[in-house]
Amino acid sequence: MQRDSGRAPLGELAILFLKLGTLAFGGPAAHIAIMRQEVVDRRKWLTDAEFLDLLGAANLIPGPSSTELAIHIGFRKAGWMGLVLAGVCFILPAALIVLGLAMLYQRWHTLPQVAGVMYGVKPVVVAIVLQALRALALSALRTKASLAVAFVGFALASAGVHELVVLIGCGLLLLLIRSIKAGQPSVLPLFMPAAIPKPRWAVLAVTSPLLASHSLWRLFLVFLKIGSVAFGSGYVLLAFLKSDLVDRLHWLTSRQLLDAVAVGQITPGPVFTTATFIGYLLAGIPGALLGTIAIFLPGFLFVSISGPLIPKIRQSPAAAAALDGVTVGSLALIAWVLVALGRAALVDLWSIALALACILLLFRFRINSVWLILAGGTLGALLSLRG
């Protein structure tokens, strides 16, 4: 089937990412899987190869990888307006949901009971990630070399090696293998394409009289720093938040921090909306707004710099090989996340049966994953009421 290589309407782009920000449960691996189904399978906006390029690029920069993937997709399909629109629309619904939960938490000092819903959603997420991993692997692992690099990446991830080390290691390993096969004595000159344009910066200025407050300004800077340096999962985010907000500044207790991260993980959209929750606890709605802007702002800037370079990177054999290796490493990380998700989600016969049913529906009938998430959450809630 012919792929759509043109621009996407801004309205359709906004609706898609508003929907994903509202309904995409399960963390970055699930978000990536759902995005692939929407933009590759359903809308034909990207090929699997193009999607994998953007995924590899998103994983190489700090910040929430699934949010940065959304921003990359927006830029690829609708330019600079799409870059901003896709990111904001993916973040906004999740941030509003987390803000509502923060208000409830501050009033009653407890989290709403969501265990039943998550019991039903988790097996669905396992099936969604498995479907996306299979499709992306068929596109990326076409050679023995890439398959071998994938196994190395999976082994490193399972051994607890940092995500960034896995990605860079896979990139360099595939580059080395291809350069040896090509008999290339030195691959470093090949990293520079013939012409790389100077990156255009997306101007995302934040102006507000609230910044006159010293405490709010400091809160903004703390979250800006975390958004600029935090690679990896929600657990990595937890380490940064604990170091700054609990140990150094003493703004939160350890219990409050764990509750905040839990809210970020059980709600749809980016886990980094944890900043919305913490910002509200510390400084009300102004704190929630500034915390959210600060932690996501670096991702917009990093994508605005790296996004225009990806097509040029493909023109260099060596740089393209390294990007392919990073992509293979990304799939290895997703595979390891899938193992962890399976262990946490498939805890009894009900959850196993639900996962198998979703796998059948996705692989055989290509059901929209959003409907499966809604059905799984409803079923989980009903089962929890039965006790």
User: What pLDDT sits at residue 309?
Assistant: 80
* Non-local CB neighbours of 381 within 8 Å, separated by 6+ positions: 116, 117, 120
HSE of 170 in the Cβ direction (CA atoms, 13 Å)? 34
Going by the DSSP 8-state scheme, the letter that residue 5 receives in this structure is -
Residue 22 predicted with pLDDT over 60: yes
Confidence at 3, pLDDT banded by 50, 70, 90: very low
Region 34-62: mean pLDDT is 89
> For the chain, what are the domain ranges?
10-198+304-386
Give the predicted TM-score (pTM) of the model: 0.69
Per-residue pLDDT tens for 195-216?
444 444 333 333 333 343 448 8
User: What pLDDT sits at residue 138?
Assistant: 84
The length of the chain is: 387
Residue 24 predicted with pLDDT over 90: no
Per-residue pLDDT tens for 241-281?
887 888 888 898 877 886 787 677 678 888 889 899 999 99
CB 46 within 8 A of CB 39: yes
Among residues of the chain, what percentage have pLDDT more than 90? Answer: 33
Per-residue pLDDT tens for 49-86?
899 889 888 877 878 888 999 999 999 999 999 999 99
